[in-house]
Amino acid sequence: MTVMQLRWGLSTHVGQVRHANQDSAMANGVLFVVADGMGGHQGGEVASAIVAEHFVDIASVDTVDELAEAFDDANRTIREKASKDPNLSGMGTTVVALAVLSSETDDMKLACANVGDSRMYRLEDDRLVQMTLDHSLVAELARAGQITEKDAANHPQRNVLTRALGVDDDVAVDHWLFPAIVGHRYLLCSDGLVNEVSDEQIRDALREIDDPNAVAQHLVDMANAAGGRDNVTILVVDIVEPDGGTECDPAETQS
């Protein structure tokens, strides 16, 4: 039997250019979520906040399919809200989520789901692995071999999403199931980080700074120092041995 627990850290910032932070995030010990809103007026802020408020009240997740269903529920809530307020028409949000699945055994299992281009990475044995696929036009062109990764980074349509919550009645949710392993560190982030900071720089920060709150804040600072052209939100989750402690309140949301 392997006994383990979680600790986490969360930081968000408006950046150096934007006037409002349309990112939202939440952590309640069962679910960890980052959402990056989009839409005129206050639409993006509202859409991402709906996601954070929806997930923070979920006390347990039994299966990876149940996590995907929570995305569907949030999608319906966003669309219902937009249908009642013309100022919110067309609002949407990306979402990436990590869930600790309920289990009657001693083996902790994790599930991940995402829609859009907010990402989840895993640091394992000093190697940084992107766990999610971006749902964006340039990412899909790159995966199809039509453009290179270098072309994608500077493509004029790199911000065009192919999936987001709130856009359509039905949304395809990518999801995965995997075991929790002591020593693994997870990073959930909005694209305000990865558009400013390289994967190598992210890896080095995650390797060198042990405290999850400290490394989350450091990554935000790195994004801002590199230009901070977008809102940036960082959520770091560690799988640790017992008595590793938690780094924030049992439930925390930030917008």
Among candidate residues 150, 123, 121, 125, the one with its CA nearest the CA of residue 138: 150
Question: What residues does 119 pair with on adjacent strands?
Answer: 189
- One pLDDT digit (tens) per residue for the chain, 255 residues: 456 799 999 999 999 999 999 999 999 999 999 999 998 768 999 999 999 999 999 999 999 999 999 999 999 999 999 999 999 999 999 999 999 998 766 688 999 999 999 999 999 989 999 999 999 877 777 677 777 766 666 766 667 799 999 999 999 999 999 999 999 999 999 999 999 999 999 999 999 999 999 999 999 999 999 999 999 999 999 999 987 455 454 567 776
**For the chain, how long is the longest CA-to-CA vector?**
54
Residue 42 burial by CB count (10 A; 0-12/13-18/19+): exposed, middle or buried? Answer: middle
What's residue 242's pLDDT?
82
Domains of the chain: 5-129+160-254 (3.60.40.10)
Quick one: which H or E segment has residue 54? helix 43-56
- Report the pLDDT value the prediction gives residue 151, as an integer from 0 to 100: 65
SS3 67: helix
Query: What pLDDT sits at residue 42?
Result: 81
Separation between Cα atoms, residue 55 and residue 198, nearest integer Å? 29
Q: What is the pLDDT of residue 1?
A: 45
Identify the pLDDT of residue 138: 76
